């Protein structure tokens, strides 16, 4: 069994960075559904502005809100208005096509990648 790319939200804009939270990344539920991310699933977050890469887990955000919020200690590393790639991995016995999307500046779906 190997760990493969399963989900990717490409070029999302961070809408908030909240230090006063236990931890995680809040993601609009519509975006989660499009790429099959689950609440509490581990994800990698890569900041295109700084090159920072970190791991955290997903918290479900309000559907249709466009929310991408860095919470807790991660808010020190990735700030509001920075552009990120959110990557979810899955274990599989053989290769499969990942669910990858591109979003606009308001974190609304543009197209499948």
Question: Which residues are tagged catalytic?
Answer: 24, 57
**Adjacent-strand bridge partners of 68:** 27
Residue 95 CB contacts under 8 Å (≥ 6 apart), including other chains = 4
Is 78 in contact with 16 (CB distance < 8 Å)? Answer: no
Asked if residue 68 lies in contact with residue 82, where contact means CB atoms within 8 angstroms, the answer is no
For 83-103, give the DSSP string: EEEEEEEEEESS----EEEEE
Residue pair 86/9 in contact by the 8 Å Cβ criterion:
yes
């Amino acid at each position: 069994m190997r760990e493969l790319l399963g989900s990717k939200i490409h070029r999302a804009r961070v809408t908030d960075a909240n230090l006063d939270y236990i931890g995680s990344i809040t993601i609009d539920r519509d975006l989660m559904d499009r790429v099959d991310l689950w609440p509490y699933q581990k994800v990698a977050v890569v900041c295109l502005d700084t090159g920072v890469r970190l791991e955290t887990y997903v918290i479900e955000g309000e559907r249709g809100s466009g929310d991408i919020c860095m919470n807790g200690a991660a808010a020190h590393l990735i700030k509001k208005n920075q552009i990120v790639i959110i990557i979810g991995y899955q274990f599989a016995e053989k290769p499969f096509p990942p669910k990858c999307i591109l979003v606009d500046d308001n974190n609304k779906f543009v197209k499948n990648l």
